[in-house]
Amino acid sequence: MNNWRTYKDQLQRIPWANYGRCVVRYAVVCLLVVAIWRTYEEPILAAFNKIILPVLAIFKANVWNKTLTYSLSAILLYVLLYRNIKHRYLYNPHLVLVLGWSAVILGYYRWSGTYNYESLSGRLTLVDVLIFFAVLVVIVAIVNYIRAIVVEMRTRHKENLQEGVLYDNPICTLDEDALDWSDEVGKLLGVVNQLQKSQPISIAINAHWGAGKTSFLKILQSSIDKDRYEVVYFNPRESKTASEIQEDFFQQIIAALSKYNGNAEYNLKKYMQALQVIDDKNWITKVLNIYAILNKESYREKIKRICDKLPVKVIIIIDDFDRLMPDEINEVLKLISTNACFANFIFLTAFDKNIVNDILSKMGQSEDAYFTNKYFDLEYCLPIRSYDYIWKYFADHLCEATHLRTDDAQKLKQAIEENKDLFRTNLTTMRDAKRMINQLMLDYQLLDMEVDVRDFLYVQLIKYKYPEEYRALANKEYVVEGGFGMYCLTENTLKSEDIKCLSILKQLFTEKEEDYHTDPYRRIYSSDSFNIYFYNKLYNELEVKEMRRIFDVDYEEIRSMIVEWQDGGHAEDISNYLQAIYVNQFDTAEQLKHYVAACCHLVQVSKGGFGQTALTRALYKPVLEENREKLNLDIEQYKEFVMSIISNKDNDPYYKMMSDMNYLFVHGVHDEDGCIIKRADIWPLVKARNLELLNGDEITEISAYDCITHSTDHRDTNKKIVLDKECCATYRRYLDRHPDLYVGSFVGTTRESSLSDWNYVSVNTYYQPIFESDENLITFMETCKQKGVVNAQRAINFMQLYIANEHQPVEFKEQGDVQKKIDSDFVVEIEQLNKLRALYDQMKAYKKRIDNNQIKKRETILKKVADWKLQLSKIPLYIKFREKILAELTMIEQPRA
């Protein structure tokens, strides 16, 4: 059944027969009024002239009654036109009828000129005011009545589905039957039809809670032939107290039998008095009822004769029997077995037999004495339905209620199909299925597209079935964080025999982090998104539905959105979202273009901090070729589109994006052969822009990295990076004009370490092609020092260390805070280097004397070497120059051949 009916369907399903009967009834009344009015007009007018008119003639208009009339009129206008319209106030139809005809009759005589009325203002009279408000009330009543019908058209017959919620109300017809009760209903009706006309019988319909007993009864009721049977649907739970159950029951029986016998009501009420089910506290009435009590059997026989002569059988359906209290159950059993056991009465009572027997056994008497079997002539057990009925209902309605997108709906259905046994264990009844759907639908409203729908389904299943374990999972009692921020099940969880939801947990988490093979974006096992599944809300994160807007706006708006998110600290959010999307997920080339535009702008705006991975994937030629036919994609046009974005000076004034791509190609980080954009496409543009900016007077962000043209072979470990000579020469001249940025950042750490006393320090690697020699660089730095350029002395000092370390980064480990060494311009380290130099000079001079045979004793030489080693051990500067000194000392202490 389609739960989302069209407006036309809703209109057709309104019970217009009820409105039709109402219209006919009031039409008859109107005809009666007209008939009386026109038939008896003369005597009515004569009486009016004689009695009413003299009283009205006394009325004279003055300032006080005019003020009162106008004040009351203003109040009535406010009430009618504002308050009653606003609140859709529904008037009593009898009042509307009276006011309507009053307006018609008064208007007729007012404008026919039959009477003269006292004027309030000009030609306006008090009667005119009364007629006006009478007509206004009728109009407001009609308008509000029509509005009520419109509301009813929109809300009626929703098949228990209101705003997506599946109410656990019983169904009423076979059209709504999801458990296929038609054969069972036919079977039971066949039994009822075979019963002898005068034979009373009670039938027990037995099934466990949630199996659909009430729905079965409702379907049965709708399927009964109304020409052969009178149906009384009785729910004892609706009675205020146990003592009123029998009175309420007989009141319904009176209403049913009075249609067939005029003596039924009188005799049934006397029988009720005899049974003392009518609680009348008046002592006089109690005295008068003594006769009825003494003649109970007489009235009982009269009722039996009335029932025996009925042209139909009376089917009494009793529902919710197993939800009653013990004393209430006893009252119903009295009706079935004794007090209402009349000819042609058929009792159909639905209950869970085990529950009722358990309730009766707790009353302090033997279980056998209250065993329900003796109260029912026939016991009919609802058959167990295949779980396929519940499973199919759950699968069909879940996606519909949550309004999932096609891809998410497919994921959900696949999860349900693959884990049918899991749902069979935890959702055992149709009631479970409905309530699980409602819970998931209500919780998912704010998380649509924000979580993985399969993970959310399993989490909600735990929440519905095992609320305590759901809270334990939310507190991370079952999981532990592994590598890369992935949650895995703990060993204790996997070994536990007490965790009821363990089979569901295994669907959500693995035992080992390396077992995860899918994208962790917004999955529950990702530490970044775990809490979303329990908070049902995103905190300080961009919503997917917001980020998806990149596919609905133009390209300029995409850049504006990326800039806004970058400024708001959400660059990582959009980066993660883009990385979670793959080319094969798109349906059109236009979607792919929007995607790559977002990637390009993110890389540009974040200056390479985010978006590179997603962009690389969107430019990977094998993937594009694989989806070319599906997307109707012209790869060359697509390449031109990408180039138009990354080469736009307004978006990227320094061409940093293309420079970074060129750098990654040169170093072999990105596969140039697999990319639709080559170095030959971007390097000429990068070079031209570099030269343009470097020749200008403004400070630019271009660095030596942007001058790289190619490498000798990026697959060779001994590759040589080549910088463009023209760019280097231009850059060198640029540095003479603007040295601050280059000199200020010339020295720095090469890696980030969690330990403050362990790191590597190096220089701008590509200074050699720019300055051609160390000497030229140092001369440049000396000039900068004289000009007062910040960090020039630091560059001069560290260059000495760098050269002494054979042009390799200098490692500092367990020698104090590395950053403090940088900030102090390596003054201590230069002193240590000077000591090493002095030691080396002494050693070289001594070695020369040895070579000239000026020193021949081995003892003298070894003693000197030992002394130098001792001095060297006191100089904690661990660079290649130190190793060179040690090597020389080793050669000196070696015996001569």
Contacts made by residues 689-698, CB under 8 angstroms, sequence distance 24+? 689/649, 689/654, 689/655, 690/655, 690/727, 690/730, 690/731, 691/726, 691/727, 691/730, 693/654, 694/727, 694/730, 694/731, 694/733, 694/734, 695/730, 695/734, 697/737
Name the band, by pLDDT with cuts 50, 70 and 90, for residue 21.
low
The count of C-alpha atoms lying within 13 angstroms of the C-alpha of 759, restricted to the half-sphere facing its C-beta, is: 20
Task: Say if residue 158's pLDDT is above 80.
Answer: no
Bridge partners, 487 (sequence order): 481
Task: Say if residue 615's pLDDT is above 60.
Answer: yes
Q: What's the pLDDT at 177?
A: 56
Tell me the average pLDDT across 657-668.
87
Q: What's the pLDDT at 621?
A: 93
Helix ranges, 650-724 (H): 656-666, 679-694
pLDDT digits (tens, 9 = 90+) for 176-218: 555 666 667 777 777 777 776 567 888 888 877 666 677 777 7
377: tokens are 């002539």
Task: Say if residue 638's pLDDT is above 90.
Answer: yes
Task: Give Cα 545 distance to the centre of its chain.
Answer: 11
From CA 814, how far away is CA 755, in angstroms rounded? Answer: 9
pLDDT digits (tens, 9 = 90+) for 551-597: 999 999 999 999 999 999 999 999 999 998 889 889 999 999 999 99
From CA 254, how far away is CA 265, in angstroms rounded? Answer: 5
Q: What's the pLDDT at 178?
A: 56
Please provide the average confidence, as pLDDT, over all residues in the chain: 81
Q: Which amino acid is at 291?
A: Y
Task: Say if residue 129's pLDDT is above 70.
Answer: yes
Range in 18-27, 353-362, 627-636, 816-825 the model is least confident about: 18-27
375: tokens are 């109260």
In eight-state DSSP terms, residue 237 is G
Q: What's the pLDDT at 262?
A: 77
Task: Say if residue 466's pLDDT is above 80.
Answer: yes
Q: Which helix (H) or strand (E) holds 348?
A: strand 345-351
Q: What's the pLDDT at 891?
A: 86
CA angle 67, 68, 72 (to 5 degrees): 115
In eight-state DSSP terms, residue 739 is -
Task: Say if residue 801's pLDDT is above 50.
Answer: yes
849: tokens are 């004397």
Backbone Cα Rg of the chain = 47
Q: Which amino acid is at 420?
A: K
Strand 479-481 with 378-381, pairing: unpaired
Range in 38-42, 488-492, 553-557, 776-780 the model is least confident about: 38-42
Q: Considering only CA atoms, which of 875, 721, 892, 894 is closest in space to residue 804?
A: 875
For 650, phi and psi rounded to 5 degrees?
Answer: -65, -35
Task: Say if residue 793's pLDDT is above 70.
Answer: yes
What separation in angstroms does the CA of 319 have from each of 64, 352, 802?
65, 11, 93
Task: Say if residue 755's pLDDT is above 80.
Answer: yes
Q: What's the pLDDT at 500?
A: 93
Residue in the block written with tokens 């109107």:
30
Task: Say if residue 160's pLDDT is above 50.
Answer: no
Name the band, by pLDDT with cuts 50, 70 and 90, for residue 776.
very high
From CA 698, how far away is CA 691, in angstroms rounded? Answer: 13
Range in 380-389, 606-615, 848-857, 886-895 the model is least confident about: 380-389
Range in 321-325, 329-333, 722-726 the model is least confident about: 321-325
What separation in angstroms does the CA of 7 have from each of 18, 20, 158, 175, 776?
20, 21, 11, 20, 85
From CA 666, how far away is CA 712, in angstroms rounded? Answer: 9
Q: What percent of the chain has pLDDT over 90?
A: 28
From CA 435, how far away is CA 427, in angstroms rounded? Answer: 10
Task: Say if residue 428's pLDDT is above 70.
Answer: yes
From CA 765, how far away is CA 404, in angstroms rounded? Answer: 54
Bridge partners, 233 (sequence order): 317
Q: Considering only CA atoms, which of 707, 777, 784, 773 is closest in space to residue 741?
A: 784
CA angle 306, 309, 313 (to 5 degrees): 95
Cα torsion 43, 48, 49, 51: sign: positive
Q: What's the pLDDT at 575?
A: 92
pTM score: 0.63
Bridge partners, 758 (sequence order): 813
Cα torsion 273, 275, 278, 279: sign: positive
550: tokens are 């990149």
From CA 672, how far away is CA 283, in angstroms rounded? Answer: 106
Q: What's the pLDDT at 578?
A: 93
124: tokens are 């306006």
Q: Considering only CA atoms, which of 695, 586, 605 is closest in space to residue 646?
A: 605
Task: Say if residue 56's pLDDT is above 70.
Answer: no
Q: What's the pLDDT at 623?
A: 93
Name the band, by pLDDT with cuts 50, 70 and 90, for residue 162.
very low
Q: Considering only CA atoms, which of 58, 90, 80 is closest in space to residue 132?
A: 80
From CA 205, how far away is CA 184, in angstroms rounded? Answer: 11
389: tokens are 């009925």
Residue 449, Ramachandran bin (φ over 0: left; ψ between -120 and 50: alpha; else beta): left
Name the band, by pLDDT with cuts 50, 70 and 90, for residue 9.
very low
Q: What percent of the chain has pLDDT over 70?
A: 85
For 749, phi and psi rounded to 5 degrees?
Answer: -75, 150
Name the band, by pLDDT with cuts 50, 70 and 90, for residue 3.
very low
pLDDT digits (tens, 9 = 90+) for 691-706: 999 998 888 878 877 8
Q: How long a stretch of residues is the chain?
A: 897
Residue of higher predicted confidence among 191 and 477: 477
The count of C-alpha atoms lying within 13 angstroms of the C-alpha of 625, restricted to the half-sphere facing its C-beta, is: 6
What is residue 821's three-state secondary structure?
A: helix
Residue 437 CB neighbours (<10 A): 24
From CA 243, how far away is CA 328, in angstroms rounded? Answer: 8
The count of C-alpha atoms lying within 13 angstroms of the C-alpha of 775, restricted to the half-sphere facing its C-beta, is: 0
Q: What's the pLDDT at 803?
A: 94
Greatest CA separation for the chain: 163
Task: Say if residue 90's pLDDT is above 50.
Answer: yes
Q: What's the pLDDT at 700?
A: 83
Q: What's the pLDDT at 165?
A: 54
For 185, phi and psi rounded to 5 degrees?
Answer: -65, -45
